Amino acid sequence: MKAVKKISIIIITGILISSFYFAFSQQAGIDAAKLYKQVELFADAISLINLNYIDVIKPRELMYGALRGMLASLDDYSSFLDPDSYKELRIDTEGRFGGLGIEISMKGGILTIISPIDGTPAAKAGLRPGDVIVKIDGEPTKDIQLHETVKKLRGKPGTSVTLSIWRQEKEVLFDVEITREIIEIKSIKEARILDGGVGYIKIVEFQEMTAKDMEKALKEILSKNSKGLILDLRNNPGGLLDSAVDVSEIFLPKGELIVSTKGRNPKDDKEYRSSRNTPYQKMDLIVLVNEGSASASEIIAGAVKDNKRGLIVGEKTFGKGSVQTVIPLKDKSAIRITTAKYFTPGNYSITDIGIMPDISVPLEEKEAKEGEEVKTEELDNQLKAALEAITIKS
């Protein structure tokens, strides 16, 4: 039986190596001979595990483990998604799920909060951009994969999870218990006129309908003789690239460069330009950002800044400037890999750098606690620093 098993492993290994060799030899820029030697090591490891490991490992579990490690070794944003994780990702795009309401990422191999989403349990619990999740329900997060984190944080509404948080700025470690809720994300949280006739719109995430909703809000604001607009992107973790482009072109004249992407493959080198003219392209504009403003938010901030279309006010943004592409596999799993980087119109990379504001003003967002509301006057007071630092032309 052992001989038969060894022969089977040898045959499977040979097929595996041949398949890898054939697949990669078809790709430009791949040294197939060198890769063949490395794939031999992988195949040898599979054979040794099958023959010697104390427990019998299912082939699928073994391959999934290998894929997770391989993708995680590339960068903080690439990952392997098993069928359940891929399903969770698709649920995310629907904007409705049971969870805490935080955008997370691996930053330097550390599980970091990009931003708590406004109005969610995470925001009400006082979590902040840059907080490090050290433990989840007492289990350390060291070497955890993002898909595992999502599974631990998601759950039925009404159930709770305890996070151990390290807050670098205060050098303090504390636990916070958060009760899960149904998270329904509306792209535009607020649109109104501030005292003094200045329009104010807060976007919490970029979704398919964001640009259309934005124009409806702007039409209403203009009808009240607004003197300008404050676009609040604080703690906005991003969203759809196309949505960020659509919102940017509301303010940028036709033909202006919004963002470009550059990748290893020529097909990933793209320029996104404003494709139309709107009534809002001469409106005085201030964009508020902080360290929780990431990805799509940074695209807009970069486009406004480099095109000198308005002023960026607040704090340096997160620095999430890479493009991930999700590619489905045959068994309903998928790989998410970084395929390109974002560059602002001035050809500046956002990755790990972020967008520096034109005017640095600490603007703390006060989030309502359970059963409370943030009063309009309090929000207005938070914006005073920006309005005092800037004269909006009438």
Tokens 């054939």 appear where?
22
320 is a catalytic site residue: yes
Catalytic choice (320, 322, 333, 358): 320
Strands (E), the chain: 79-81, 96-99, 102-107, 110-116, 132-136, 139-140, 160-167, 172-179, 181-184, 188-193, 199-203, 229-232, 257-263, 270-273, 285-289, 311-314, 322-328, 334-343, 359-360
Alpha-carbon distance of 112 to 129, in angstroms, equals 8
Question: Are 187 and 232 contacting, i.e. CB atoms less than 8 angstroms apart?
Answer: no
Alpha-carbon distance of 391 to 394, in angstroms, equals 9
CA torsion sign for 159, 163, 169, 171 is: positive
Question: Which pairing describes strands 285-289 and 229-232: parallel, antiparallel, or unpaired?
Answer: parallel
Alpha-carbon distance of 236 to 371, in angstroms, equals 23
CA of 255: how far to CAs of 343, 345, 360, in Å?
17, 12, 30
Catalytic choice (295, 297, 322, 333): 295
306 is a catalytic site residue: yes
Residue 127 tokens, joined: 């979590």
| Residues 6+ away with beta carbon under 8 Å from 88 | 97, 147, 150, 151, 154
CA torsion sign for 218, 221, 226, 229 is: negative
3-state secondary structure of 331: coil
369 is a catalytic site residue: no
Catalytic choice (124, 306, 322, 333): 306
Q: How many CA atoms lie less than 13 Å away from 120 in the CB half-sphere? A: 28
Rg (CA), the chain: 24
What residues are labeled active site?
295, 306, 320
